[in-house]
A and B are shown apart, each in its own frame.
Chain A
Amino acid sequence: MSSLEHPLYNFEITHAPDAGGHFGRFGGRFAAETLMQPLLEIEQAFYAAWADPEFHRERLDLLKNYVGRATPLYHAERLTKLSGGAQIYLKREDLNHTGAHKINNTIGQGLLARRMGKKRVIAETGAGQHGVATATVAAMFGMQCDIFMGREDMARQMPNVLRMRLLGANVIPVDSGTATLKDAVNEALRNWVASCEDTFYIFGTAAGPHPYPLLVRQFHTVIGQEARAQILEQAGRLPDVAIACVGGGSNAIGLLHPFRDDLDVRLVAVEAAGYGLKTGKHAASLAAGKAGILHGNLTYLLEDDEGQVLGTHSISAGLDYPGVGPELALMLEEGRLELDAATDDEALTALQQLTRSEGIIPALESSHAIAAGCRIAATMREDQIVIINLSGRGDKDMDNVFKHLGWLEEKQ
């Protein structure tokens, strides 16, 4: 590529945050002084890379030939029939190498790390998908890799822990706090403070201190840009609804952002309602949280009256996070984003429905989007279109799913 032009992707940065990384009143760079210089250096390196055709040539080459992009947009006719209503299309991010959308971002940040001459990468992980995607890129680039993971999550996602080890990464258990994703972020930040000279922190979601929400978004918008072109080609028009699950919000911003200026397209974020929003045992920071500052950005947080961050609950480790990306917080406040939620049970049901109707086993995270997507489609006309982001595949969740279905006990 000789200039910044591509038949499928566009590289213009729209709805950019301000110079300090603020999306309206959200976002920003609430970081300790020790991290300010490293963050400023990443911001500089990102803008320089983004303006460089060679960076995109390398990135898109890897996305195509290593990751397997573009991923299909699949018209799920049997699921559509089952739901009754709008035509359901699935954006098949589960078909990416490593089984989820996460690798779009780790390829981008990995390339950035290499450009900056870093020899080691670190990352936090919840479900383990970001950890696996980081370990994969580290293996490919020949970089040292340490992954921080809550001990609770390690137990829930053991196959991914073992995959990361197989890939040569060192998985470091985190016991502090609630021993889940937020604590893994704390520990990764602590490690990075002491190692930033030779280490790049590959942040896993579109949250955290500026520039992470921006650069994670930019690396994931390939999802929505492809989906937009694919639906125009397949159906001859834009969808009525685009829908994605939200933990930190990386797959959601990746799918939804390219539709942001298509004002006739409803954008829906599905949060994890856990045992139910009324029980207090959930991870729905947009629906039930209030503004707060955590992990470098101002956003919606699940917190108590005095600002102590609360533990969360979701059947899916990848949604089990008390915050959310600042741009989604702004889109909600501006009325551009609609909220929905799915409980643990609804996600489990949706996982089985999709599996049996289409032969596709989704990740528990993505099953939340399937549940809400089918529910919304059922309220719509047959000539309408819903695109659901199938952000990851379910292999990693099988033990957990079998346990919840009671199948493991039957065996004994």
Chain B
Amino acid sequence: MLLAGGQGSRLKALTSKVAKPAVPFGGKYRIIDFPLSNCVNSGIDTVGVLTQYKPLELNAYIGSGQAWDLDRSDGGVHILPPYVQEDEKGSWYKGTANAIYQNLSFLEQYDPEYVLILSGDHIYKMDYSKMLRHHKETNAACTISVMEVPLEEASRFGIMNVDANDMIYEFEEKPKKPKSNLASMGIYIFTWSKLRKYLMEDEADPSSSNDFGKNIIPTMLADHEIMAAYRFQGYWKDVGTIDSLWDANMDMLDPTAGINPYDTEWPIYAQAALRPPLFTGPAAAIKHSIVTSGSEVSGTVEDSVLFHSVVVEEGAQVRYSILMPGAVVKAGAVVEYSIVAERTVIGAGAHVGADKSDDPEWGIAVVAQDLKVGDGASVPAGAIVTRNIKGVKA
């Protein structure tokens, strides 16, 4: 069960029209491709995707699930929006646990032994079948995937305190004085009968906020259910903020970062765009970047991530930036430390973002989709642009 209903408000302009899991990532992908591909590569063939906020583009993207080989006659991918229940008023998903509760009938239809709960806003590669094996071996009611984080950063995470056998005895959400450095990754495996029982009880409790981290996990711990921690080692990043999204994209350029998209053993699948190959013009200079089909690069591109159908005209410079599908950088424009969303045009000679500096105002500049930054205009570092910007006459 993939929780894909998050609004992603911290991604600001990038999620004004799409749900967070549908935000483009890493040249070829959208964020949701990572958990979906992990499912397929782990041998999971039945996936429910719980959507609610701005679902149009996400639903269209997932479609029949063909891109992930999830167009199955038995199982496959199912989009699960909130709906009006019998004899009741319908409601939006109130929390992560409520989202699953509202789809109990979907789960009952498949009557699984185990249920895997995922979130749609993390970039990582993980074999869930190994985690399931761990869950079975420990005979747990719930297994939570954890990873070690630096102790000084532990207070930003949900921290699991475990015994010598990695069994969880305590859960602390963002503790001021963390006792361990094992952070929850928001990936849970439940034994279905237990999950069902706790979801029903949680729903009956009017004071609950119907959230896995705040309610279900603490209640199960209080009931002394067997709760196992499953240690994950490898690349994992929450891309919920502009900075972390930019960082994770830049990690795609680093062969040592641990998120290798060229690994044929664990491919990440995506709905493909039908475009001819990338054309690099006679004056193109591309260094340390990833570039995607349908693009035409005639200028300079360094340390950047270019999605499909991007145009970088001659004399334009793109550095440390992310250009989403269809973005155009006109001749002589400079784009640095920026994210330019789909189909936005940066006019000739315009300047977006600024080189990294110690200025507290400095940050990644973001230009939302379908906008035009006029010729010669300037967008300062850290700006979030949601309207067209007029050109400046030379």
A binds B: no
Interface of A toward B, CB cutoff 8 Å: none
Interface of B toward A, CB cutoff 8 Å: none
